[in-house]
Amino acid sequence: MKNLFLSLSLIGAAALVGCSKTETPAPAAPAEPAAAAAPAAPASQWPELRVAIDPTYKPFTYKTESGEPAGFDVDVAKALCDELKSKCVFVEQAWDGMIPGLQAKKYDAIISSMSITEERKQAVDFTGKYYNTPSCVVVKSALNLGAEAANFKGKKIGVLKASTQEKYAMGELQPAGATIVPYDAQDQVYLDIKSGRLDGTVADVVEVNGGFLSTPDGKDYACAGTRIPVEFDAKYFGAGAGVAIRKEDTALRDALNAGIKAIRDSGKWKELAEKHVPGVDIWGS
């Protein structure tokens, strides 16, 4: 009996094994094709752009209390670097060494309110203008002087060395009897006006308002007349402020010109102008 049950058990087990369902694995789904990688942004021809500034020219170029470069020139430089996909690196340079430093390749461009003049174009190349403002002679407002050069006879006038304002002062005010004193930085001129060592200065209208006339030290001073007469613009003051580059760097010049057009077209330039010089048309004629 025991053997019979054992035999039946073995037969049943074999039958169960024979009748059990074997699951066949489903075929794997075909692999999704890999998404095509987005094309990499083209590398900039100028990964780093070294920009010379003279940070003594508020509101165009100056330093914050923490020592960071700031101003309209600085923000325009940053916007142009964005257009070129470049990293802006600012290099401080005294004004009278600006062009020699560019020629010596200490930096790649000057974006520091440098006027486009025929004399400078003999040494370096320029983009088109990115702003254009007039200059004036600043003296005590109580004098109530007009802008004519003869009015400044006997006055001691401080100017920024190697500037268009110095050229005008030497060419027009000195022959009329003024004493002209060049300085390495415009903010030094204002300190000497405050101390009484100078009677006045020749300066950009917007800069002198932001850097001196709007301050407590400048409250008793004003531009003589609205501005230096327009007939002197071509001779001394040029065609507005442009970016200076070395003559051989034509590709950089063209890229910067395209950048200036782009920030004008996009409204970025206007935004920066309103930020630094609200309510004033600094594009000029």
Q: How high is the pLDDT of residue 39?
A: 56
Structural domains in the chain, CATH included, are 46-131+238-274 (3.40.190.10), 133-234 (3.40.190.10)
Residue 154 CB burial class (10 angstroms; 0-12, 13-18, ≥19)? exposed
Q: How high is the pLDDT of residue 110?
A: 99
The answer to whether residue 227 scores a pLDDT higher than 90 is: yes
| CA atoms of 152 and 221, how far apart (whole Å) | 14
Grade residue 44 by pLDDT with cuts at 50, 70 and 90. confident
The answer to whether residue 269 scores a pLDDT higher than 80 is: yes
The answer to whether residue 16 scores a pLDDT higher than 90 is: no
Grade residue 38 by pLDDT with cuts at 50, 70 and 90. low
Model pTM?
A: 0.82
The answer to whether residue 251 scores a pLDDT higher than 90 is: yes
The predicted-structure confidence for 68-92, as pLDDT tens digits, reads as follows 999 999 999 999 999 999 999 999 9
The answer to whether residue 3 scores a pLDDT higher than 60 is: no
The predicted-structure confidence for 129-169, as pLDDT tens digits, reads as follows 999 999 999 999 999 999 999 999 999 999 999 999 999 99
The predicted-structure confidence for 182-215, as pLDDT tens digits, reads as follows 999 999 999 999 999 999 999 999 999 999 999 9
| CA atoms of 93 and 53, how far apart (whole Å) | 6
| CA atoms of 74 and 167, how far apart (whole Å) | 25
For range 243-250, the mean pLDDT: 98
Closest CA to 95 of 114, 109, 77: 114
The mean pLDDT of the chain is 89
| CA atoms of 148 and 231, how far apart (whole Å) | 12
The predicted-structure confidence for 87-144, as pLDDT tens digits, reads as follows 999 999 999 999 999 999 999 999 999 999 999 999 999 999 999 999 999 999 999 9
